[in-house]
Amino acid sequence: MMKDIATPVRTKAILEKYGFSFKKSLGQNFLIEPNVLSRIVDHAEVTDKTGVIEIGPGIGALTEQLARRAKKVVAFEIDQRLLPILKETLDPYPNVKVIHQDVLEANLQEAINENFNDCEEIMVVANLPYYVTTPIIMKLLEEKLPLKGIVVMLQKEVADRIAASPSTKEYGSLSIAVQYYTEAKTVMTVPKTVFVPQPNVDSAIIRLLVRDKPIVEVENEEFFFQIIRAGFAQRRKTILNNLVHFLPNGKESKLKIEETLEHVKIDSRRRGETLSIEEFALLSEALDKGLFNK
């Protein structure tokens, strides 16, 4: 068995050999604890039938653990300086392909078509750079890729927001956006001490299992999310206040918005953070269909 990349000694040796220095702008924090990495792979339930997309492989610590269990791993790395390192560290694993590209600009559907035809399921597994966590997760979900799920390490605070329930301080538009598409659960917390360089905050691993269809049915998805963003625009304000101030033509439509809230039996004095996804769906459908005109 090969020596794990993710030990403090081996990581240090690889970085020194290549004279690699961390770029703060890329949010690079490498894991130096093999047990945490294998737990991530466990939570993703990766088998020899799984195709895995990894984002930001770094020096290949997680990639290696994935490659030992998955059928195929396709890793997107934005930092050109890591390519020669990955070429060496992942050399023993012929089932890994590294693509030098910013995942936010990548055509992921195309990558899936090209690489995973012989895989029964596709998972995204990654230690995400903190500064682009949310845009990456939303891209994966909004593009409606044929994924079984997403298991990623991210800032604990963001994981808490994603998995939050109504009427908690963490609950917000991000919670609803992610839970609309997936079942979200934080599966473990990871201390900052197992990273190099050490980040300022603890991390968590979140598992998002993609739903067969969104949790609520809305005809106008774009409008639904617009209502949610407006509902949380100022957390201390009531749902009525927020809709009036943050919807286009909200001020002119105040009476109609009030009538609609009454129609769907939502108290206009409630705050957005107390509304469930189902209530937001009911409200957006009613506003969109203009039930208040009747």
Helix (H) / strand (E) containing 66: helix 61-69
4 is in an annotated binding site: no
127 is in an annotated binding site: yes
Q: How many CB atoms lie within 10 A of CB 146?
A: 11
Q: How buried is residue 205: exposed, middle or buried, by Cβ count under 10 Å (0-12/13-18/19+)?
A: buried
45 is in an annotated binding site: no
Q: Using alpha carbons, list the distances in angstroms from residue 193 to 12, 29, 167, 189.
A: 15, 11, 32, 12
56 is in an annotated binding site: yes
Distance CA 52, CA 142 (A): 19
The pair of three-digit structure tokens given for residue 197, joined into one six-digit string: 């360089």
174 is in an annotated binding site: no
- Angle (CA) 187-40-208 rounded to 5° is 50
77 is in an annotated binding site: yes
Give the torsion sign (CA, 45, 77, 133, 212).
negative
Binding site per annotation, positions for S-adenosyl-L-methionine: 29, 31, 56, 77, 102, 127
Binding site per annotation, positions: 29, 31, 56, 77, 102, 127
